[in-house]
Copies of this chain bind each other. A is one copy, B any other.
Amino acid sequence: MAKNTNMRWRLPLICLLWEVAMIILFGVFVRFTPEASARWEEEEKKQNNITSDIENDFYYRYPSFQDVHVMIFIGFGFLMTFLQRYGFGAVGFNFLLASFGIQWAILMQGWFHSFKDGKILIGVENLINADFCVGSVCVAFGAILGKSSPVQLLIMTLFQVTLFSVNEYILLNLLHVIDAGGSMTIHTFGAYFGLTVTRILYRPNLEQSKDKQGSVYHSDIFAMIGTIFLWMYWPSFNSAVSNHGDAQHRAAINTYCSLAACVLTTVAFSSMLEKKGKLDMVHIQNATLAGGVAVGTSAEMMLPPYGSLIVGFICGIVSTVGYVYLTPFLESRLHIQDTCGIHNLHGMPGIIGGIVGAITAAAATKRVYGSEGLVKTFDFTGDYANRTPMVQGGYQAAGIFVSLAIAFAGGSIVGGILKLPIWGDAADENCFEDDVYWEVPEDEESGLYHMHDPTLKPASP
Protein backbone atom coordinates (compact mmCIF):
# COMPACT_ATOMS: atom_id res chain seq x y z
CA MET A 1 0.00 0.00 0.00
CA ALA A 2 1.41 3.32 -1.03
CA LYS A 3 1.41 5.81 1.83
CA ASN A 4 1.19 9.52 1.35
CA THR A 5 4.63 10.79 2.23
CA ASN A 6 4.18 14.19 0.66
CA MET A 7 5.45 16.70 3.20
CA ARG A 8 4.50 19.81 1.27
CA TRP A 9 2.07 21.28 3.76
CA ARG A 10 2.59 19.30 6.90
CA LEU A 11 6.31 19.92 7.33
CA PRO A 12 6.32 23.65 6.49
CA LEU A 13 3.29 24.25 8.67
CA ILE A 14 4.82 22.60 11.68
CA CYS A 15 8.21 24.23 11.23
CA LEU A 16 6.73 27.69 10.84
CA LEU A 17 4.19 27.33 13.62
CA TRP A 18 6.78 26.12 16.04
CA GLU A 19 9.31 28.73 15.13
CA VAL A 20 6.70 31.44 15.62
CA ALA A 21 5.88 29.91 18.99
CA MET A 22 9.56 29.95 19.87
CA ILE A 23 9.85 33.62 18.96
CA ILE A 24 6.87 34.51 21.11
CA LEU A 25 8.04 32.47 24.07
CA PHE A 26 11.59 33.77 23.78
CA GLY A 27 10.17 37.27 23.55
CA VAL A 28 8.20 36.81 26.72
CA PHE A 29 10.72 34.84 28.72
CA VAL A 30 14.31 34.77 27.50
CA ARG A 31 16.89 37.37 28.44
CA PHE A 32 20.67 37.33 28.88
CA THR A 33 22.28 36.11 32.05
CA PRO A 34 24.23 38.94 33.74
CA GLU A 35 27.54 37.61 32.41
CA ALA A 36 26.27 38.01 28.85
CA SER A 37 24.68 41.40 29.37
CA ALA A 38 26.25 44.75 28.60
CA ARG A 39 25.40 45.75 32.16
CA TRP A 40 27.85 43.13 33.50
CA GLU A 41 30.70 45.64 33.41
CA GLU A 42 29.14 48.04 35.85
CA GLU A 43 26.91 45.73 37.84
CA GLU A 44 27.67 42.09 38.65
CA LYS A 45 31.34 42.44 37.84
CA LYS A 46 31.77 45.31 40.25
CA GLN A 47 29.43 43.91 42.86
CA ASN A 48 31.29 40.62 42.97
CA ASN A 49 34.73 42.22 42.85
CA ILE A 50 35.59 40.40 39.67
CA THR A 51 38.86 41.89 38.54
CA SER A 52 39.26 40.24 35.18
CA ASP A 53 37.11 39.54 32.14
CA ILE A 54 38.60 36.07 32.00
CA GLU A 55 36.46 35.17 35.03
CA ASN A 56 33.41 35.31 32.79
CA ASP A 57 31.88 31.82 32.61
CA PHE A 58 32.25 32.08 28.85
CA TYR A 59 35.97 31.32 29.10
CA TYR A 60 35.45 28.35 31.39
CA ARG A 61 32.88 26.66 29.22
CA TYR A 62 32.85 27.93 25.66
CA PRO A 63 35.53 25.58 24.27
CA SER A 64 33.71 22.63 25.80
CA PHE A 65 30.42 23.93 24.47
CA GLN A 66 31.77 23.98 20.93
CA ASP A 67 33.04 20.43 21.29
CA VAL A 68 29.61 19.30 22.50
CA HIS A 69 28.04 21.19 19.62
CA VAL A 70 30.23 19.24 17.20
CA MET A 71 29.18 15.99 18.84
CA ILE A 72 25.49 16.73 18.41
CA PHE A 73 25.58 17.96 14.83
CA ILE A 74 28.58 16.26 13.24
CA GLY A 75 28.91 13.37 15.66
CA PHE A 76 25.38 12.06 15.75
CA GLY A 77 24.62 13.30 12.24
CA PHE A 78 27.46 11.51 10.52
CA LEU A 79 27.42 8.43 12.74
CA MET A 80 24.03 7.71 11.22
CA THR A 81 25.15 8.13 7.60
CA PHE A 82 26.25 4.51 7.55
CA LEU A 83 23.11 3.47 5.69
CA GLN A 84 23.77 3.26 1.96
CA ARG A 85 20.79 5.36 0.90
CA TYR A 86 19.96 7.48 3.93
CA GLY A 87 22.84 9.90 4.28
CA PHE A 88 20.72 12.98 3.60
CA GLY A 89 18.15 11.92 6.15
CA ALA A 90 20.77 11.07 8.74
CA VAL A 91 22.61 14.39 8.65
CA GLY A 92 19.71 16.51 7.53
CA PHE A 93 16.96 15.35 9.87
CA ASN A 94 19.39 15.30 12.76
CA PHE A 95 20.20 18.91 11.87
CA LEU A 96 16.51 19.79 11.77
CA LEU A 97 15.41 18.13 14.97
CA ALA A 98 18.42 19.35 16.91
CA SER A 99 17.92 22.93 15.75
CA PHE A 100 14.34 22.86 16.88
CA GLY A 101 15.10 20.90 20.02
CA ILE A 102 17.72 23.29 21.37
CA GLN A 103 15.27 26.17 21.27
CA TRP A 104 12.59 24.27 23.11
CA ALA A 105 15.16 22.93 25.55
CA ILE A 106 16.35 26.43 26.41
CA LEU A 107 12.79 27.22 27.40
CA MET A 108 11.98 23.99 29.25
CA GLN A 109 15.28 23.81 31.12
CA GLY A 110 15.16 27.55 31.65
CA TRP A 111 11.84 27.39 33.43
CA PHE A 112 13.20 24.70 35.71
CA HIS A 113 16.70 25.99 36.34
CA SER A 114 17.34 29.57 35.18
CA PHE A 115 14.10 31.29 36.01
CA LYS A 116 14.40 34.56 37.89
CA ASP A 117 11.86 37.36 38.28
CA GLY A 118 9.72 35.95 35.52
CA LYS A 119 12.57 35.67 33.03
CA ILE A 120 14.82 32.88 31.84
CA LEU A 121 18.39 34.17 31.97
CA ILE A 122 20.60 32.36 29.49
CA GLY A 123 24.34 32.03 29.17
CA VAL A 124 26.79 29.55 27.72
CA GLU A 125 25.84 26.88 30.27
CA ASN A 126 22.26 26.97 29.01
CA LEU A 127 23.51 26.38 25.49
CA ILE A 128 25.45 23.34 26.64
CA ASN A 129 22.48 21.97 28.54
CA ALA A 130 20.22 22.52 25.55
CA ASP A 131 22.67 20.59 23.41
CA PHE A 132 22.72 17.84 26.03
CA CYS A 133 18.96 17.63 26.09
CA VAL A 134 18.84 17.35 22.33
CA GLY A 135 21.54 14.71 22.56
CA SER A 136 18.96 12.42 24.13
CA VAL A 137 16.67 13.02 21.15
CA CYS A 138 19.52 12.21 18.76
CA VAL A 139 19.96 8.95 20.67
CA ALA A 140 16.29 8.07 20.29
CA PHE A 141 16.42 9.07 16.62
CA GLY A 142 18.97 6.28 16.18
CA ALA A 143 16.34 3.67 16.97
CA ILE A 144 13.83 4.90 14.39
CA LEU A 145 16.38 6.05 11.80
CA GLY A 146 15.10 5.49 8.29
CA LYS A 147 11.59 4.62 9.40
CA SER A 148 10.06 7.93 10.28
CA SER A 149 9.01 11.13 8.59
CA PRO A 150 10.53 14.50 9.50
CA VAL A 151 7.17 15.52 10.94
CA GLN A 152 7.24 12.54 13.27
CA LEU A 153 10.74 13.47 14.32
CA LEU A 154 9.69 17.01 15.19
CA ILE A 155 6.72 15.77 17.18
CA MET A 156 8.94 13.34 19.01
CA THR A 157 11.46 16.09 19.71
CA LEU A 158 8.82 18.34 21.21
CA PHE A 159 7.63 15.68 23.61
CA GLN A 160 11.00 14.17 24.37
CA VAL A 161 12.60 17.49 25.24
CA THR A 162 9.69 18.14 27.56
CA LEU A 163 9.97 14.79 29.27
CA PHE A 164 13.74 15.05 29.41
CA SER A 165 13.46 18.32 31.28
CA VAL A 166 10.96 16.89 33.74
CA ASN A 167 13.13 13.85 34.36
CA GLU A 168 16.22 16.02 34.69
CA TYR A 169 14.43 18.23 37.19
CA ILE A 170 13.39 15.24 39.27
CA LEU A 171 16.90 13.83 39.27
CA LEU A 172 18.95 16.97 39.77
CA ASN A 173 16.63 19.01 41.94
CA LEU A 174 14.38 16.58 43.81
CA LEU A 175 16.70 13.61 44.21
CA HIS A 176 19.77 15.88 44.20
CA VAL A 177 21.58 13.46 41.96
CA ILE A 178 24.94 14.15 40.29
CA ASP A 179 24.95 13.43 36.56
CA ALA A 180 27.13 15.96 34.75
CA GLY A 181 27.80 13.72 31.76
CA GLY A 182 24.24 12.45 31.61
CA SER A 183 24.60 8.67 31.84
CA MET A 184 21.10 8.64 33.27
CA THR A 185 19.45 11.82 32.07
CA ILE A 186 20.75 11.70 28.50
CA HIS A 187 21.70 8.16 27.60
CA THR A 188 19.52 5.89 29.71
CA PHE A 189 16.50 8.09 29.26
CA GLY A 190 17.13 8.72 25.58
CA ALA A 191 17.80 5.10 24.72
CA TYR A 192 14.86 3.50 26.49
CA PHE A 193 12.55 6.24 25.34
CA GLY A 194 13.64 5.60 21.76
CA LEU A 195 13.40 1.85 22.13
CA THR A 196 9.88 2.11 23.50
CA VAL A 197 8.88 4.36 20.62
CA THR A 198 10.32 2.01 18.02
CA ARG A 199 8.60 -0.95 19.72
CA ILE A 200 5.27 0.78 19.38
CA LEU A 201 6.00 1.71 15.80
CA TYR A 202 6.88 -1.92 15.05
CA ARG A 203 6.89 -2.65 11.32
CA PRO A 204 6.25 -6.36 10.71
CA ASN A 205 7.27 -6.21 7.06
CA LEU A 206 10.44 -4.23 7.43
CA GLU A 207 12.45 -6.98 5.79
CA GLN A 208 11.06 -5.61 2.53
CA SER A 209 13.68 -2.90 2.76
CA LYS A 210 16.36 -5.22 4.11
CA ASP A 211 18.62 -4.59 1.12
CA LYS A 212 18.90 -0.93 2.10
CA GLN A 213 19.61 -1.54 5.79
CA GLY A 214 23.26 -2.23 5.13
CA SER A 215 26.08 0.13 4.37
CA VAL A 216 28.24 0.68 1.33
CA TYR A 217 31.97 1.20 1.46
CA HIS A 218 31.99 4.98 1.48
CA SER A 219 28.97 5.35 3.73
CA ASP A 220 30.90 3.42 6.37
CA ILE A 221 33.74 5.89 6.07
CA PHE A 222 31.35 8.83 6.37
CA ALA A 223 30.02 7.23 9.53
CA MET A 224 33.53 7.07 10.95
CA ILE A 225 33.67 10.87 10.81
CA GLY A 226 30.80 10.84 13.28
CA THR A 227 32.32 8.14 15.43
CA ILE A 228 35.72 9.73 15.74
CA PHE A 229 34.39 13.19 16.52
CA LEU A 230 32.11 11.73 19.19
CA TRP A 231 34.99 9.74 20.60
CA MET A 232 37.45 12.62 20.64
CA TYR A 233 35.15 15.21 22.13
CA TRP A 234 33.48 13.00 24.71
CA PRO A 235 35.87 14.25 27.41
CA SER A 236 34.41 17.69 26.76
CA PHE A 237 30.90 16.29 26.94
CA ASN A 238 31.39 14.77 30.35
CA SER A 239 33.23 17.80 31.74
CA ALA A 240 31.31 20.65 30.11
CA VAL A 241 29.00 21.50 33.00
CA SER A 242 31.13 20.19 35.86
CA ASN A 243 32.29 22.58 38.55
CA HIS A 244 35.04 24.97 37.57
CA GLY A 245 38.59 23.85 38.22
CA ASP A 246 39.57 20.36 39.28
CA ALA A 247 36.19 18.79 38.50
CA GLN A 248 36.28 19.69 34.82
CA HIS A 249 39.92 18.62 34.68
CA ARG A 250 39.21 15.26 36.29
CA ALA A 251 36.11 14.50 34.24
CA ALA A 252 38.06 14.99 31.03
CA ILE A 253 40.86 12.68 32.12
CA ASN A 254 38.52 9.91 33.25
CA THR A 255 36.56 10.01 30.03
CA TYR A 256 39.72 9.91 27.95
CA CYS A 257 40.86 6.81 29.83
CA SER A 258 37.56 5.00 29.64
CA LEU A 259 37.25 5.57 25.91
CA ALA A 260 40.76 4.37 25.20
CA ALA A 261 40.14 1.09 27.01
CA CYS A 262 36.81 0.65 25.30
CA VAL A 263 38.40 0.66 21.84
CA LEU A 264 40.59 -2.30 22.69
CA THR A 265 37.87 -4.56 24.03
CA THR A 266 35.56 -3.61 21.18
CA VAL A 267 38.19 -4.66 18.66
CA ALA A 268 38.91 -7.82 20.63
CA PHE A 269 35.29 -8.96 20.75
CA SER A 270 34.45 -7.82 17.25
CA SER A 271 37.20 -10.05 15.93
CA MET A 272 36.47 -12.88 18.32
CA LEU A 273 32.78 -13.15 17.53
CA GLU A 274 33.22 -13.39 13.80
CA LYS A 275 34.09 -16.71 12.21
CA LYS A 276 37.09 -15.48 10.24
CA GLY A 277 38.21 -12.99 12.85
CA LYS A 278 37.43 -9.99 10.68
CA LEU A 279 36.40 -6.73 12.24
CA ASP A 280 32.88 -5.42 11.81
CA MET A 281 32.51 -1.71 11.11
CA VAL A 282 29.25 -1.57 13.03
CA HIS A 283 31.10 -2.40 16.23
CA ILE A 284 33.98 -0.03 15.61
CA GLN A 285 31.54 2.77 14.79
CA ASN A 286 29.46 2.31 17.90
CA ALA A 287 30.77 0.13 20.69
CA THR A 288 34.00 2.12 20.93
CA LEU A 289 31.91 4.98 22.30
CA ALA A 290 30.23 3.04 25.09
CA GLY A 291 33.05 3.89 27.46
CA GLY A 292 32.17 7.56 27.22
CA VAL A 293 28.52 6.91 28.02
CA ALA A 294 29.37 4.79 31.02
CA VAL A 295 31.52 7.30 32.88
CA GLY A 296 29.06 10.13 32.31
CA THR A 297 27.94 10.16 35.90
CA SER A 298 31.16 9.28 37.65
CA ALA A 299 33.82 11.04 35.57
CA GLU A 300 33.79 14.16 37.71
CA MET A 301 33.88 12.15 40.94
CA MET A 302 37.14 10.77 42.28
CA LEU A 303 36.84 7.69 40.13
CA PRO A 304 40.52 6.87 39.70
CA PRO A 305 41.90 6.51 36.17
CA TYR A 306 42.18 2.73 36.50
CA GLY A 307 38.52 2.70 37.46
CA SER A 308 37.76 4.44 34.19
CA LEU A 309 39.80 1.85 32.31
CA ILE A 310 37.77 -0.91 33.94
CA VAL A 311 34.49 0.75 33.02
CA GLY A 312 35.65 1.19 29.42
CA PHE A 313 36.91 -2.39 29.34
CA ILE A 314 33.55 -3.78 30.40
CA CYS A 315 31.48 -1.53 28.17
CA GLY A 316 33.38 -2.36 25.00
CA ILE A 317 32.55 -5.99 25.65
CA VAL A 318 28.93 -5.49 26.68
CA SER A 319 28.24 -3.24 23.74
CA THR A 320 29.86 -5.45 21.11
CA VAL A 321 28.22 -8.60 22.45
CA GLY A 322 24.98 -6.68 22.41
CA TYR A 323 25.33 -5.96 18.71
CA VAL A 324 26.06 -9.56 17.91
CA TYR A 325 23.49 -11.34 20.07
CA LEU A 326 21.06 -8.96 21.71
CA THR A 327 19.98 -6.76 18.82
CA PRO A 328 18.79 -9.69 16.67
CA PHE A 329 17.04 -11.13 19.71
CA LEU A 330 15.29 -7.86 20.53
CA GLU A 331 14.11 -7.62 16.95
CA SER A 332 12.88 -11.17 16.48
CA ARG A 333 11.43 -11.77 19.94
CA LEU A 334 10.51 -8.41 21.36
CA HIS A 335 9.80 -6.70 18.04
CA ILE A 336 12.16 -3.87 18.84
CA GLN A 337 13.67 -2.68 15.58
CA ASP A 338 16.66 -0.66 16.60
CA THR A 339 18.30 0.72 13.45
CA CYS A 340 21.52 1.95 15.04
CA GLY A 341 21.63 -0.40 17.97
CA ILE A 342 21.19 2.36 20.52
CA HIS A 343 20.47 -0.24 23.16
CA ASN A 344 24.09 -1.34 22.89
CA LEU A 345 25.63 2.09 22.65
CA HIS A 346 23.44 4.13 24.98
CA GLY A 347 21.02 1.82 26.79
CA MET A 348 23.15 -0.72 28.58
CA PRO A 349 26.19 1.55 28.95
CA GLY A 350 23.88 4.26 30.32
CA ILE A 351 22.59 1.95 33.03
CA ILE A 352 26.12 0.80 33.78
CA GLY A 353 27.05 4.46 34.04
CA GLY A 354 24.30 5.07 36.54
CA ILE A 355 25.41 2.12 38.62
CA VAL A 356 29.08 3.10 38.50
CA GLY A 357 28.05 6.59 39.56
CA ALA A 358 26.03 5.29 42.48
CA ILE A 359 28.86 3.07 43.68
CA THR A 360 31.48 5.79 43.25
CA ALA A 361 29.31 8.25 45.16
CA ALA A 362 28.59 5.77 47.94
CA ALA A 363 32.30 5.06 48.29
CA ALA A 364 33.31 8.71 48.60
CA THR A 365 35.33 9.65 51.68
CA LYS A 366 36.76 12.81 53.14
CA ARG A 367 40.20 11.24 52.98
CA VAL A 368 40.04 11.04 49.20
CA TYR A 369 38.05 14.18 48.41
CA GLY A 370 39.04 16.41 51.30
CA SER A 371 36.27 17.98 53.34
CA GLU A 372 35.70 20.90 51.02
CA GLY A 373 36.10 18.72 47.96
CA LEU A 374 33.44 16.30 49.16
CA VAL A 375 30.96 19.09 49.79
CA LYS A 376 31.74 20.75 46.47
CA THR A 377 31.66 17.59 44.38
CA PHE A 378 28.29 16.40 45.64
CA ASP A 379 26.96 19.84 46.52
CA PHE A 380 26.27 18.79 50.10
CA THR A 381 25.00 22.25 50.99
CA GLY A 382 21.72 23.76 52.12
CA ASP A 383 19.07 21.09 52.51
CA TYR A 384 21.60 18.44 51.64
CA ALA A 385 24.33 19.48 54.08
CA ASN A 386 23.86 16.36 56.13
CA ARG A 387 23.53 13.83 53.34
CA THR A 388 26.19 11.14 53.53
CA PRO A 389 27.93 9.62 50.53
CA MET A 390 26.16 6.33 51.20
CA VAL A 391 22.76 7.99 51.06
CA GLN A 392 23.85 9.90 47.98
CA GLY A 393 24.66 6.55 46.36
CA GLY A 394 21.13 5.41 47.09
CA TYR A 395 19.63 8.47 45.47
CA GLN A 396 21.95 8.03 42.48
CA ALA A 397 20.60 4.50 42.06
CA ALA A 398 17.06 5.78 42.35
CA GLY A 399 17.84 8.14 39.50
CA ILE A 400 18.32 5.20 37.16
CA PHE A 401 14.88 3.82 37.91
CA VAL A 402 13.18 7.19 37.61
CA SER A 403 14.84 7.72 34.24
CA LEU A 404 13.75 4.29 33.06
CA ALA A 405 10.21 4.76 34.29
CA ILE A 406 9.76 8.10 32.57
CA ALA A 407 11.39 6.75 29.42
CA PHE A 408 9.03 3.77 29.23
CA ALA A 409 5.90 5.69 30.13
CA GLY A 410 6.75 8.67 27.96
CA GLY A 411 7.91 6.52 25.09
CA SER A 412 4.66 4.59 25.13
CA ILE A 413 2.54 7.70 24.93
CA VAL A 414 4.69 9.41 22.33
CA GLY A 415 4.93 6.19 20.34
CA GLY A 416 1.16 6.03 20.35
CA ILE A 417 0.91 9.56 19.04
CA LEU A 418 3.49 8.89 16.33
CA LYS A 419 1.53 5.81 15.25
CA LEU A 420 -1.35 7.97 14.05
CA PRO A 421 -1.55 7.60 10.27
CA ILE A 422 -1.30 11.32 9.59
CA TRP A 423 2.42 12.05 9.90
CA GLY A 424 3.51 10.83 6.51
CA ASP A 425 5.90 8.03 7.31
CA ALA A 426 6.97 5.73 4.50
CA ALA A 427 5.72 2.26 3.64
CA ASP A 428 7.87 -0.63 4.83
CA GLU A 429 9.41 -1.16 1.41
CA ASN A 430 10.47 2.49 1.23
CA CYS A 431 12.25 2.71 4.53
CA PHE A 432 15.94 3.63 4.66
CA GLU A 433 15.54 5.53 1.43
CA ASP A 434 16.34 9.23 1.01
CA ASP A 435 14.33 9.44 -2.15
CA VAL A 436 11.11 9.59 -0.13
CA TYR A 437 11.76 12.97 1.48
CA TRP A 438 14.68 14.39 -0.50
CA GLU A 439 15.47 15.45 -4.01
CA VAL A 440 18.16 12.91 -4.78
CA PRO A 441 20.76 13.49 -7.53
CA GLU A 442 20.42 11.34 -10.57
CA ASP A 443 23.53 9.25 -10.07
CA GLU A 444 21.77 7.28 -7.41
CA GLU A 445 18.54 7.05 -9.23
CA SER A 446 19.84 5.83 -12.55
CA GLY A 447 23.45 4.92 -12.20
CA LEU A 448 25.29 3.93 -9.13
CA TYR A 449 22.35 2.46 -7.40
CA HIS A 450 21.07 0.13 -10.04
CA MET A 451 24.57 -1.02 -10.61
CA HIS A 452 24.33 -2.93 -7.40
CA ASP A 453 21.78 -4.97 -9.18
CA PRO A 454 23.53 -8.09 -10.42
CA THR A 455 21.31 -8.12 -13.48
CA LEU A 456 22.49 -4.67 -14.51
CA LYS A 457 22.22 -4.25 -18.21
CA PRO A 458 23.30 -1.01 -19.77
CA ALA A 459 21.07 0.59 -22.34
CA SER A 460 21.91 -0.22 -25.89
CA PRO A 461 23.38 2.61 -27.89
Contact = CB atoms under 8 A, between A and B. Distances in A.
A81 B77 CA distance: 18
A405 interface: no
A38 B369 contact: yes
Nearest to A217: B444
Nearest to A54: B54
Nearest to A229: B74
A204 interface: no
A407 to B, nearest CB: 25
Contacts of A56: 244-246, 248-249
A443 B66 contact: no
B66 A277 contact: no
B77 A32 contact: no
Contacts of A78: 225
A216 interface: yes
Contacts of A60: 53-54, 59
A387 B225 CA distance: 48
Contact of A27 (B39, B275, B306, B444): B306
How many monomers of this protein are in the complex? 3
B26 A443 contact: no
Q: Is the interface of A mostly helix, strand, loop or mixed?
A: helix
B305 A87 contact: no
Q: Which 6 A-B pairs have the closest CB atoms?
A: A8-B277, A38-B373, A53-B245, A99-B263, A26-B306, A15-B268
29 contacts: A7-B278, A12-B267, A19-B264, A23-B261, A27-B306, A32-B304, A36-B246, A38-B302, A41-B246, A54-B244, A56-B249, A58-B245, A59-B60, A66-B236, A73-B232, A77-B224, A88-B220, A88-B221, A88-B281, A91-B228, A103-B257, A103-B260, A122-B253, A127-B253, A281-B439, A443-B452, A455-B459, A455-B461, A457-B458
